[in-house]
Amino acid sequence: MVLGAGAPPRTALWVVPVGEFGGVARHVLDAFSAAAQGSMPGWRLVLLAPPGPLVDRVRAAGGAVVDGPFGVGAGLRPSLATLRHTVSALQPAVVHSHLSWADIACAMAFPRAFSRGGVRLVSTEHGIAADDLVYHGTPWRAMLMGDVHRMRVARADALIAVSEATREAMLRKWRPRVPVRVIRNGIDRADAPGSTADPYAVDSPSSPAPARGPVLRIASIARLAPEKRIDRLIEAFALVHREHPEATLTIAGEGPLEGALRAQVSRLGLDAAVTFPGHVDAGELLRHTDVVAQLSVWENCSYTLLDALVAGTGVVATAVGGNPEILSPAALVAPEAPEQDPAAVAAALFSQGTTLGQRPTLDPTWPTVAQMCAAVADVYADLGGGADGQRR
């Protein structure tokens, strides 16, 4: 597409229903930061989200923000009013929703008939799972939400998935009428949080570390929620700690299971080896970590794994969802291993933490943040929403 000379940028309104900082918020902040540096020429991004750390950080990065009564905490009716008012005021060419609450709100606020003559609805799927019970809890709720999602994707003009596994799940469950384009979460190698030095100073990258040595530092960076299976990580870590009492485990993050996880650590006599620092700067933690563990039931395109690869840490993750698209086989354990074979998880933790030659590396073709933004801009342009108002 060739942009018209001197054409004013068109607006893409990104709609996010949560204000706290997490994986989707990281995606938003990266995109707005890159767009502010010129990664989406012809486009002006504006964020609609509730007040909180996300809008604060987007503002600090030079992004445009509308914060107000929107999202789960505000309720549906006030949120729809805020959304409609914002669109009326900004006249965006694209309304781009993230997370299911925003997806549904946008579909309700702007039915298909309206979008044909004005705003185009785009949705990025970050959090679908092969098993509906992972996120919906009960069969009846899963069936209900499946029907809701099928109705809302019928109103979308474009759909984006963050991994091939995400795309396959969307196609199987929701049968969208428009193609689903895969745009993976971008990561910038130049922004690596720091390489992890070999804690064992072994003779060669492929040789195993001695059984005794400096501290083996394991970390989890995730919401403390059931689908992350951090309780299974603690069980596996107990086996590591039995053989290597110098090993430590940092469980970073917040969530509803914190009390139960702390109690489990105490029952196993691991209080001196396991810490719960809450929300942390992931880059700083990775500087002091030898292996990152992520034993989730499902992942789509994990920033934790991407950051770990850029940092050079070891990784142990379940072979579910988009994880095999990011990691080499040496870093993966079977999906059922956390439940059925904690010894296999423990062995993988030790191997990844101490044998550098086994650690995964980032695929050289993995998109940068700027490339991710350019791909999103291509989706907008394919809708006839380019900066010159023409299709390519």
Q: What is the mean pLDDT of the chain?
A: 86
The Cα 100–Cα 126 span in angstroms is 9
The CATH number for 189-358, chosen from 3.40.50.2300, 3.40.50.2000, 3.40.50.970, 3.30.70.20, is: 3.40.50.2000
pLDDT 10s digits, 259-306: 999 999 999 999 999 999 998 999 999 999 999 999 999 999 999 999
Q: Tell me: pLDDT of 216 over 90.
A: yes
What confidence score (pLDDT) does residue 373 get? 97
Residues 6+ apart with CB under 8 A from 147: none
Closest by CA position to 354, among listed 212, 169, 232: 212
Closest by CA position to 348, among listed 233, 268, 196: 233
What is residue 151's DSSP assignment? H
Q: Tell me: pLDDT of 200 over 80.
A: no
pLDDT 10s digits, 178-188: 999 999 999 99
Residues 6+ apart with CB under 8 A from 162: 27, 124, 125, 126, 182, 183, 184, 185, 300, 301, 322
The Cα 352–Cα 376 span in angstroms is 35
What confidence score (pLDDT) does residue 115 get? 45
Closest by CA position to 302, among listed 290, 312, 292, 287: 292
Contacts of 367-370 spanning 24+ positions with Cβ under 8 A: 367/183, 367/184, 367/186, 367/187, 368/186, 368/187, 368/188, 368/189, 369/30, 369/31, 369/33, 369/34, 369/39, 369/186, 369/187, 369/188, 370/34, 370/37, 370/39, 370/186
How would residue 119 be classed by pLDDT, with cut points 50, 70 and 90? confident
The Cα 298–Cα 319 span in angstroms is 9
Classify 78 as helix, strand or coil: helix
Q: What is the dihedral of CA 278, 257, 126, 295, to 10 degrees?
A: 90
The Cα 220–Cα 230 span in angstroms is 8
Closest by CA position to 90, among listed 130, 47, 148: 47
| Element spanning 123, H or E | strand 120-125
The Cα 52–Cα 111 span in angstroms is 29
Question: Of the ranges 18-27, 46-55, 208-217, 294-303, which one carries the lowest mean pLDDT score?
Answer: 208-217
Q: Tell me: pLDDT of 136 over 90.
A: no
Go through the chain and tell me how many residues it has.
392
What confidence score (pLDDT) does residue 252 get? 97
The C-alpha R_g of the chain, in whole angstroms, comes to 22
What confidence score (pLDDT) does residue 153 get? 86
β-pair type (94-98, 120-125): parallel
Helix, strand, coil in percent for the chain, rounding step 5: 45, 15, 40
Residues 6+ apart with CB under 8 A from 214: 199, 200, 246
> Is 0.85 surpassed by the pTM of this model?
yes
CATH 3.40.50.2000 given to domain 10-186+367-382: yes
Residues 6+ apart with CB under 8 A from 217: 199, 247, 248, 250, 288, 289, 290, 291, 353
200-204, 236-240, 277-281: which has the highest mean pLDDT?
A: 236-240
Q: Tell me: pLDDT of 67 over 60.
A: yes
For residues 201 and 269, the answer to whether their CB atoms sit within 8 Å is: no
Closest by CA position to 291, among listed 244, 356, 241: 356
For residues 179 and 159, the answer to whether their CB atoms sit within 8 Å is: yes
Across 225-239, average pLDDT: 97
Across 111-137, average pLDDT: 69
Question: Within the chain, which residue ranges are assigned CATH 3.40.50.2000?
Answer: 10-186+367-382, 189-358
Across 50-60, average pLDDT: 95
